[in-house]
Amino acid sequence: MRSKKTLNRITQVCLLIAAFACSASAREWRDVKAGTSMEAEYVRQQGNKVVLKRTSDGKLFAVEFSRLSLGDQAYVMGMGSSKPTASSSSSQKKTTAPAAKNQPSPDALAGMSKKVSNDHRYYRADFSSPWPTEAYASPRQTIQVIKEDSKNDFYVYRSPHFEFQCDAKLGSSAMSKLARIFEATYDYVNKMPLGMLKAHTRGGYFKVLLVESNHSFMQLGGRSGVGGFYDPEKDHVVVPIHNLGVRKLGGSYRVDHEKTNYILMHELTHQLTEPVYFAQGSRGWFSEGIAEYVAGTRYESGKFHLNTSHQKNLMRYITLGGRHANVGSQYDQHLVKEVHMPNLEWFMTMSYGQFSGQNARANYAFGLLLTNYFIHLDRGGTRESLNSFLKGLHEGKTGQTAIDELLLGRSFDQLEKEIAQAYRRSGLVVKFYEPQKLSTQFR
């Protein structure tokens, strides 16, 4: 969180960037197997181990990657994926340079990833079920009141899959309504056959901090104009309650209306996404693309619309540059029918710093365009190449090696032609340009 001040952001850019791009600094690490934790600094990766420097005495420890919490694993993966590029702006260099200093060698990454592959985790992961046709949460969610400590303004509630820690006494009635958007997003991501084991975690709760005061939100790492964010280090989502339609009436809280909060859906998707999907080669176009895919799906009263208008809504979301699809027809006249995106090889291999830099808004839309292509349009909608890519990530493949699994023998040029052809059938013209010669044309 310390490096956030260096980021040049717009509301569209999620705060995930900040935590991933930050330099090595002391943080809490958890050994899940032993049930222990310690405050330490990330040093490097060594084979399948992660070397940590304990804050209290500077002693070095080597912890097996697979023993670390999912949040820690995501953090480690993030440390290996920031590489400054020649075309980065100076502000981007500022954020990517410290991480690059600690960038492990490719060999170290491969060694670490082998440990993951030895778990054979993806064999239990679902890649073959049909794509979900519905995702929803019932209007009234069962809420457990875990703690209501008014002295310290600390309240804890649980819905089936989330634990909410609040600084306001929301009560089970308001919580029951609020939990709907969280549980609906959970249902959606959980049903996607993308090998997302983390989303299938049983018995645990995904942590969410609901904050009333803007001051608390800022202190936790929030930014003004941002509807919520995911902190991968702490593996929790932080969201201000006013963004969920909560109002205080007298002494109690009411949920006025169910506010559609697509940034929250985006951030929840990050929380539910498999940590290895943030590896180099995927982080950026796919990790943001899948979060935008969820956020761009029309959501209404606890239900995601995955019917025949789903593709149309996504196209609208893409061409409106990430504004929600739930808009009236007056926006149709502004729809862009032609999208110009940088050539595929350049786009898919750019650093995350660059991805989330000044063209972030367009890059997020291109990420969604590609993710949607690989889910629904490539190879007759079989997800053959996407599955091969995701299984590769589970096996520890990263960077170009992972992307090769996606290409399945095709060249980038060939894939560009296939993408353009597929979208033309949906009425969207996609053109690729050489980024060195042209500036981004996407509006």
Task: Considering the complex, state which of residue 48 and residue 269 has its C-beta at the smaller distance from Zn ion.
Answer: 269
d(CA 38, CA 56): 9
Identity of the amino acid at 180? R
Minimum CB separation from Zn ion for residue 318, in Å?
Answer: 16
Which segment (7-15, 154-162, 252-260, 272-280) binds Zn ion by CB under 5 A? 7-15
Task: Considering the complex, state which of residue 17 and residue 110 has its C-beta at the smaller distance from Zn ion.
Answer: 17
Minimum CB separation from Zn ion for residue 241, in Å?
Answer: 21
Segment 255 to 314, residues that bind Zn ion, using CB under 5 A: 288, 291
Which segment (14-22, 38-46, 147-155, 303-311) binds Zn ion by CB under 5 A? 14-22
* Contact call for residues 124 and 201 (beta carbons, < 8 A): no
# binding residues, Zn ion (CB under 5 A): 4
Which segment (15-23, 65-73, 139-147, 379-387) binds Zn ion by CB under 5 A? 15-23
Minimum CB separation from Zn ion for residue 266, in Å?
Answer: 6
Minimum CB separation from Zn ion for residue 17, in Å?
Answer: 7
Task: Considering the complex, state which of residue 179 and residue 291 has its C-beta at the smaller distance from Zn ion.
Answer: 291
Minimum CB separation from Zn ion for residue 292, in Å?
Answer: 8
Query: Phi/psi zone of residue 120: left (φ > 0), alpha (ψ -120 to 50 degrees), beta?
Result: left
**Among residues 7, 14, 339, 350, which is the contact residue for Zn ion, using CB under 5 A?**
14
Task: Considering the complex, state which of residue 16 and residue 419 has its C-beta at the smaller distance from Zn ion.
Answer: 16
Minimum CB separation from Zn ion for residue 13, in Å?
Answer: 8
- Does residue number 16 form part of the binding site for Zn ion (CB under 5 A)? yes
d(CA 157, CA 154): 10
Nearest residue relative to Zn ion (C-beta): 14
Task: Considering the complex, state which of residue 20 and residue 253 has its C-beta at the smaller distance from Zn ion.
Answer: 20
Minimum CB separation from Zn ion for residue 49, in Å?
Answer: 29
Task: Considering the complex, state which of residue 9 and residue 394 has its C-beta at the smaller distance from Zn ion.
Answer: 9
Task: Considering the complex, state which of residue 52 and residue 181 has its C-beta at the smaller distance from Zn ion.
Answer: 181
Minimum CB separation from Zn ion for residue 239, in Å?
Answer: 14
Task: Considering the complex, state which of residue 235 and residue 288 has its C-beta at the smaller distance from Zn ion.
Answer: 288
Question: Which chain residues interact with Zn ion by CB under 5 A?
Answer: 14, 16, 288, 291
